[in-house]
């Protein structure tokens, strides 16, 4: 097989089928007819001497050969796309671009309001989408260009990613303002442990960050409610006597009583993670530059 004898547009079709798992949706995404997509797939099959995608009740499923090459194909397409962007200067004041983020709903609540306020004034053509992607899928999504950034802990275990510190948050204890068991503006460790607590985690079982710290002290709190989403917790705190240990910045924006924690809890550090193939992209560089500044404002 020679690259000079291969239509590189076929690889765009290959990547889109992998993402969509459906030929009709692939045709819609690429603004082509379904026969054109079927023809492209047949050409790909001849090129690789493999079926590549097999029709199943779950959609067009990739064969082992397709799985083996998809990562390199996606990275190559991303590099080509980045090269095109680098050929001209990026002017955020006039650019029309959508940035794709993965972050938790907690990070969305803290970071998206100031970012969107900034974009509305300084870069009105820039839009944002945010959907949380599992960590084990981050590398694939970033390398393919489906994601621009992952806001999370530093994903140092994932190859080919770059990272930079974005925000550091310490924690406080949040309760409703009329809580019957807490008098005054301070909280002892015994009082903290007496309270019923809300624990937020995507995992159904196991200890969280706060509980691991208490466990090292030989202490255990009383968890009355486990949730998978952060932003449902404030409403529950307001209408119950449960306590919630959450980032200080979030506490400042809620009508809740904010108490210092009666024990030392290391702050949580959020990092901006991106793929090395986008490191030189001017639009990517611009977002990496302005986002920390926006969050500090």
The answer to whether residues 154 and 31 belong to one domain is no
d(CA 255, CA 257): 7
The answer to whether residues 260 and 183 belong to one domain is yes
At 229 the pLDDT is 87
Q: What is the pLDDT of residues 7-25, one digit of tens each?
A: 888 999 999 999 899 999 9
Number of domains in the chain: 3
* CATH code for position 227: 3.40.190.10
Q: What is the pLDDT of residues 120-178, one digit of tens each?
A: 999 999 999 999 888 888 888 888 788 999 998 878 777 788 999 998 889 999 999 99
The answer to whether residues 69 and 196 belong to one domain is no
Q: What is the pLDDT of residues 44-95, one digit of tens each?
A: 999 899 999 999 998 999 999 999 999 888 888 877 776 665 555 788 999 9
The answer to whether residues 60 and 201 belong to one domain is no
In a domain, 91, yes or no: no
d(CA 27, CA 33): 6
Q: Give the domain range for residue 77.
A: 3-86
The answer to whether residues 249 and 136 belong to one domain is no
The answer to whether residues 70 and 108 belong to one domain is no
DSSP 231-282: GGHHHHHHTSS-EEEEEHHHHHTSSSEEEE-SS--PPEEEEEEEEGGGTT-H
* CATH code for position 34: 1.10.10.10
Which of 55, 86, 117 is a domain's end point? 86
CA angle 239, 245, 250 (to 5 degrees): 80
In a domain, 226, yes or no: yes
In a domain, 92, yes or no: no
Hey, which bits of the chain come out as E strands?
A: 53-56, 59-62, 97-102, 126-130, 149-152, 161-169, 171-175, 196-200, 222-227, 243-247, 257-260, 268-275
d(CA 67, CA 138): 16
Which of 56, 86, 116 is a domain's end point? 86
Q: Single out the residue of 224, 213, 203 nearest to residue 104, CA to CA.
A: 203
The answer to whether residues 236 and 120 belong to one domain is no
Instruction: Copy the structure tokens of residue 187.
Output: 């909280």
Which of 57, 86, 115 is a domain's end point? 86
The answer to whether residues 164 and 43 belong to one domain is no
> Cβ contacts of residue 41 below 8 Å, gap of 6+?
13, 17, 23, 52, 53
Instruction: Copy the structure tokens of residue 263.
Output: 């024990």
The answer to whether residues 54 and 11 belong to one domain is yes
The answer to whether residues 154 and 287 belong to one domain is yes
DSSP assignment letter at 108: H
270, 106 Cβ separation under 8 angstroms: no
Per DSSP, the three-state class of 20 is: helix
In a domain, 179, yes or no: yes
d(CA 167, CA 164): 10
The answer to whether residues 180 and 153 belong to one domain is no
The answer to whether residues 63 and 132 belong to one domain is no
Decide the pairing of beta strands 161-169 and 243-247: unpaired
d(CA 19, CA 15): 6
Query: What percentage of residues in the chain have a pLDDT greater than 70?
Result: 95
């Amino acid at each position: 097989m020679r690259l000079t004898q291969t239509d590189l547009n076929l690889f765009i079709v290959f990547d889109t089928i992998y993402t969509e798992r459906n030929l009709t949706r692939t045709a819609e995404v690429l603004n082509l007819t379904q026969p054109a997509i079927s023809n492209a797939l047949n050409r790909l099959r001849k090129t690789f001497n493999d079926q590549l995608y097999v029709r199943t009740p779950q959609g067009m499923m990739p064969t082992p050969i397709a799985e083996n090459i998809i990562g390199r194909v996606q990275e190559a397409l991303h590099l080509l796309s980045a090269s095109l962007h680098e050929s001209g200067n990026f002017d955020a004041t006039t650019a029309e671009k959508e940035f794709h983020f993965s972050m938790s709903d907690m990070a969305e609540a803290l970071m998206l309001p100031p970012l969107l306020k900034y974009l509305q004034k300084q870069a009105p053509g820039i839009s944002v989408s945010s959907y949380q992607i599992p960590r084990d899928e981050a590398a694939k999504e970033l390398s393919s260009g489906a994601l621009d950034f992952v806001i999370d802990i530093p994903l140092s275990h994932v190859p080919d990613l770059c990272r930079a510190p974005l925000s550091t948050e310490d924690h406080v204890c949040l309760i409703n303002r009329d809580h019957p068991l807490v008098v005054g503006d301070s909280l002892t460790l015994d009082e903290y442990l007496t309270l019923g607590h809300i624990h937020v985690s995507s995992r159904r079982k196991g200890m969280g960050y706060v509980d691991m710290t208490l466990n090292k002290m030989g202490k255990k709190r009383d968890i009355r409610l486990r949730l998978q989403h952060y932003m449902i917790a404030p409403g529950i705190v307001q209408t119950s006597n449960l306590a919630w240990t959450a980032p200080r910045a979030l506490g400042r924006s809620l009508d809740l009583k904010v108490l210092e924690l009666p024990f030392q809890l290391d702050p949580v550090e959020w990092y901006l993670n991106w793929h090395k193939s986008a490191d030189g992209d001017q639009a990517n560089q611009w977002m990496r530059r302005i986002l920390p500044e926006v969050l500090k404002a």
